[in-house]
Amino acid sequence: MRRREFIGVLGGAAAWPLTARGQQPSRLQTIGFFGAASRSTSHTWIAAFVQRLRELGWIEGRNVAIEYRWAEGHNERYTEIAAELVRLKVDVIFAPTTPAVIAAKQATSTIPIVLAVASDPVGAGLVEGLARPGGQITGLSIQSADTAGKRLEFLREVVPNGRRLAILSFIGNPSSVRESREVEATAHALGLEVAALEIRRVEDIAPTLEPLKGRADFLYVVTDPIVNANVARINITALGARLPTMHALREYVEAGGLMSYGPNSSDLFRRAGDYVDKILRGMKPADIPVEQPTKFDLVVNLLTAKALGLEIPPSLLARADEVIE
């Protein structure tokens, strides 16, 4: 290398750190992921959400950051997590469930919030309407109470002589309360006896379900973040009490439940990625309509059916989207 060229290289090398020091690294746009359960129980939903963001051009660590926070099924942590995400000044809060959305809304009136599996956000007062949500919240609504009747129909096909229905719900979640009431009203209309079981703490699960053996014919489990974190415990206890269970989410059946009928959660989390994308690109939540599920799954667990001594009707199996064997 010639002497003049060598000096030029040294001069450029010496100047580069000065230039770099004068440039401040740009801040990545940040998503606050408000998980009501745990990462382990939500991994398939996270994967669907992150994959959709990647397809839309958002690569975690490159042009977007995701701050994950988990309530682990403990309602008392919601306020703390919401406040922390606000302190971090995230650009959008992804709060999939109703309790998480409520906590986030109470913590901020300016940061956009996206929901994914909230039940009846209009009834919960989270949005003004589905077509025009208004305010800072938008996303997807599962309208779980609207499909309660269909779930009871499936239960009665499996246990045609069943007359006593137990409904398990965790109080403190407005969506769970509404769904429980809808199920109870539908059950009464079908001539079923109903035992409404309201749980306050995880520790109440076993003492509440175990005495039902021989006193109830089937169990309807209302969807709730606490259920997400404790569904295996609930299904094991229900199995010990000889109770066929009906759920809204396929993941609950994969964890040992008998049946589920409801929207595909992974699909909803994937579609939530579109909402986050629009907000990060400048759209206002008030102008993005809340959408409802387009895909519903009927899932049957034959292993659980066998353990309960039940035979699933061939006609129902033929309609199932997935059969676990």
**In Å, how far are 4, 108, 183, 206, 308 from 211, measured between CA atoms?**
91, 43, 22, 9, 17
The secondary structure of 54-73 as a DSSP string is HHTT--BTTTEEEEEEE-TT
pLDDT for the residue 132: 94
Q: Classify domain 29-143+264-294 at the CATH topology level.
A: Rossmann fold (3.40.50)
Angle at 138 between CA 137 and CA 139, to 5 degrees: 140
Residue with tokens 């021989």: 214
First to last CA, the chain: 72
pLDDT for the residue 254: 93
Structural domain 145-263+297-324, CATH architecture: 3-Layer(aba) Sandwich (3.40)
pLDDT for the residue 37: 79
- Domain 29-143+264-294 and domain 145-263+297-324, same fold? Reply is yes
**In Å, how far are 15, 61, 100, 309 from 19, measured between CA atoms?**
6, 24, 44, 74
Q: Which run of H or of E encompasses 118?
A: strand 113-118
| Predicted TM-score (pTM) above 0.75 | yes
Domain boundary assignment for the chain: 29-143+264-294, 145-263+297-324
pLDDT for the residue 212: 93
Other C-beta atoms within 10 Å of 200: how many? 12
pLDDT for the residue 145: 64
pLDDT for the residue 144: 65
Tens-binned pLDDT, residue by residue, of the chain (325 aa): 444 444 444 444 444 343 343 444 568 999 999 998 788 878 899 999 999 999 999 999 999 999 999 998 787 899 999 999 999 999 999 999 888 999 999 999 999 999 998 878 888 889 999 999 999 999 999 866 668 889 999 999 999 999 999 999 988 777 788 888 889 999 999 999 999 998 888 888 899 999 999 999 999 999 887 888 789 999 999 999 999 999 999 999 999 999 999 999 899 999 999 999 999 999 999 999 999 988 889 999 999 999 999 999 999 999 999 999 9
